[in-house]
């Protein structure tokens, strides 16, 4: 989790509270950067999260990014999770997801595991949950620098400092890079062309792992475990791997909603909490944004569920934790990065502690039982790509 964005804090609290109500036994870890405000971290501890020692940002060379100054430029930082060597497995979670089923079962998949994205795979065959992704699908096009990739919103990994170091070295902002002749691409990144990316951590993880470990294959988690909240008609139309998105029954089949678009339901939380808008009004507004692409009302249904989860969090936090969530996110300002108890500007950070060194927390004691298995959830403030990529 990085930065002082109040939206990230709110999304993280809703996620933590939802996992607690679902009864998941694995600990939810927060790996923050030094500039995450101390009040946010205090609230997350009250929500049962185990907050690790701060870690530094991980940056990518600006030539490798489609928008070097865009909101997704720090997102590579989430791959710091690969350095958590005290774990056997970790489930990397974007903050903008809403689980509808417990996630413990995902640790039974063979790592690495994630949802395979439809992009750039015009001739792929549909995959079922648990299927192995053919390595040939991840080959980089020698003419364009494009390639298949996973979605890291729900991603099962084994910690691997060597892979982290390799990725950091390949995308290092200090590298001298060269543009390919006649192509919108950069030469020799992970041994191939690289097209400037909207999804830097997903492309870097997919390509880095394949280059370092050519024999390792990804496991497809399936769309149900990472259902992107987009209308069927606008979700990679015509591509084979997008068919599962439109086949799933929203009520019965979807295990995790992933709000991967640029507008999050958390934007409405302030208005809902203060009684300025009703959930019905918000859902109508959300449904109208891309009504022509969403005949099943996916955005409407998912937004409603997230706002209901926020309402439950708002009440629980006030009554049990003694925290007003709306007041908490209303405090957000750059000055909070130096809240008492946080690192001073320029202060060096220690590396993350292993989970077994961390103290317990009020609402998280039920998850402590899984520490001996060396498995944990790791929440990350990963940002998203535009719908067009």
* pLDDT at res. 28: 96
Quick one: average pLDDT of 277-299? 85
- Decide: 20 and 363 in contact? Cβ < 8 Å: yes
Helix (H) or strand (E) holding 153: strand 150-157
* pLDDT at res. 332: 39
* pLDDT, tens digit, 9 for 90 and up, residues 350-369: 333 333 333 333 344 444 44
- Decide: 215 and 174 in contact? Cβ < 8 Å: no
Helix axes 279-289, 298-316, angle to 10 degrees: 150
Strands 256-258 and 97-99: antiparallel
Residue 262: CA count within 13 A, CB half-sphere: 11
Distance between CA 292 and CA 296 in Å, rounded?
10
Q: Residue 170 contacts by C-beta under 8 Å, 6 or more apart in sequence?
A: 189, 190, 204, 208
Lowest model confidence (mean pLDDT) among 59-73, 99-113, 247-261: 59-73
Cα torsion through 100, 232, 230, 388, rounded to 10:
140
Query: What does the block give as tokens for 188?
Result: 């020799």
* pLDDT, tens digit, 9 for 90 and up, residues 8-65: 999 999 999 999 999 999 999 999 999 999 999 999 999 999 999 999 999 999 999 9
Residue 54: CA count within 13 A, CB half-sphere: 21
Quick one: average pLDDT of 79-83? 98
Cα torsion through 5, 255, 130, 212, rounded to 10:
0
* pLDDT, tens digit, 9 for 90 and up, residues 198-255: 999 999 999 999 999 999 999 999 999 999 999 888 889 889 999 999 999 999 999 9
* pLDDT at res. 262: 75
Quick one: average pLDDT of 251-266? 91
Bigger pLDDT: 183 vs 25: 25
Sign of CA dihedral 8, 12, 15, 21: negative
Distance between CA 388 and CA 41 in Å, rounded?
34
Residue whose C-alpha is closest to residue 14's, from 42, 43, 35, 34: 43
| Ordered domains of the chain (ranges, CATH) | 6-380 (3.90.550.10)
pLDDT for 389 beyond 80: no
Bigger pLDDT: 368 vs 98: 98
* pLDDT at res. 6: 92
Mean model confidence pLDDT for the chain: 86
Quick one: average pLDDT of 301-308? 94
* pLDDT at res. 383: 52
Backbone angles phi, psi at 217, to 5 degrees: -115, 150
Q: Residue 176 contacts by C-beta under 8 Å, 6 or more apart in sequence?
A: none
* pLDDT at res. 337: 32
How does 370-381 read in b/e, with b if 16+ C-beta sit within 10 Å?
bbeebbbbbbbb
pLDDT for 260 beyond 50: yes
CA 193 to the chain's CA centroid: 25
Quick one: average pLDDT of 99-114? 97
The beta-strand segments (E) located in the chain are 28-30, 50-51, 89-94, 97-99, 113-116, 150-157, 186-189, 192-194, 219-220, 227-228, 256-258, 375-380
pLDDT for 321 beyond 80: yes
Sign of CA dihedral 318, 322, 324, 325: negative
pLDDT for 267 beyond 90: no
pLDDT for 385 beyond 80: no
pLDDT for 342 beyond 50: no
Quick one: average pLDDT of 136-140? 95
Q: If pLDDT is split at 50, 70 and 90, which confidence band does 373 have? A: low
* pLDDT at res. 293: 85
Q: If pLDDT is split at 50, 70 and 90, which confidence band does 195 have? A: very high
Distance between CA 55 and CA 351 in Å, rounded?
6
* pLDDT at res. 339: 31
Distance between CA 12 and CA 93 in Å, rounded?
10
Q: If pLDDT is split at 50, 70 and 90, which confidence band does 94 have? A: very high
């Amino acid at each position: 989790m990085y930065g002082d964005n109040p939206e990230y804090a709110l999304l993280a609290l809703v996620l933590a509270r939802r996992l607690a109500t679902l009864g998941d036994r694995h600990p939810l870890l927060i790996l923050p950067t030094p500039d995450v405000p101390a009040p946010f971290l205090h609230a997350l501890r009250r929500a049962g999260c185990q907050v690790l020692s701060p870690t530094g940002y991980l940056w990518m060379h600006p030539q490798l990014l489609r928008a070097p100054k865009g909101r997704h430029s720090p997102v590579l930082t989430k791959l710091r999770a690969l350095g958590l060597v005290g774990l056997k497995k970790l489930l990397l979670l974007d903050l903008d997801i809403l689980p509808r089923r417990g996630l413990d079962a995902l640790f039974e998949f063979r790592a690495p595991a994630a949802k395979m994205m439809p992009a750039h795979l015009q001739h792929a065959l549909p995959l079922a949950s648990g299927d192995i992704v053919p390595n040939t699908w991840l080959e980089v096009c020698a003419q364009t620098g494009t390639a298949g990739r996973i979605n890291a919103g729900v991603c099962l990994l084994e910690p691997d400092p060597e892979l982290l170091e390799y990725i950091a070295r390949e995308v290092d902002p200090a590298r001298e890079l060269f543009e390919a002749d006649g192509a919108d691409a950069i030469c020799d990144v992970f041994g191939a062309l690289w097209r400037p990316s909207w999804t830097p951590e997903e492309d870097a993880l997919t390509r880095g792992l394949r280059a370092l470990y050519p024999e390792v294959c990804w496991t497809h988690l399936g769309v149900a475990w990472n259902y992107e909240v987009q209308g069927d008609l606008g979700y990679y139309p015509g591509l084979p791997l997008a068919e599962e998105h439109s086949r799933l029954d929203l009520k019965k089949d979807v295990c995790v909603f992933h709000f991967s678009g640029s507008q999050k339901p958390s934007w409405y939380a302030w208005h809902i909490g203060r009684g300025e808008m009703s959930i019905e009004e918000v859902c109508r507004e959300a449904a109208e944004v891309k009504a022509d692409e969403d005949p099943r009302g996916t955005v409407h249904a998912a937004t409603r569920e997230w706002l209901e989860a926020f309402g439950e969090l708002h009440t629980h936090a006030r009554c049990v934790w003694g925290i007003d969530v709306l007041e908490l996110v209303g405090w957000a300002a750059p000055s909070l990065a130096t809240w008492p108890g946080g690192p001073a500007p320029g202060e060096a950070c220690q590396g993350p502690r292993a989970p077994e060194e961390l103290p317990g927390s009020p609402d998280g004691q039920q998850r402590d039982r899984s520490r001996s298995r060396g498995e944990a959830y790791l929440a990350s403030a990963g940002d998203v790509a535009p719908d067009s990529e």
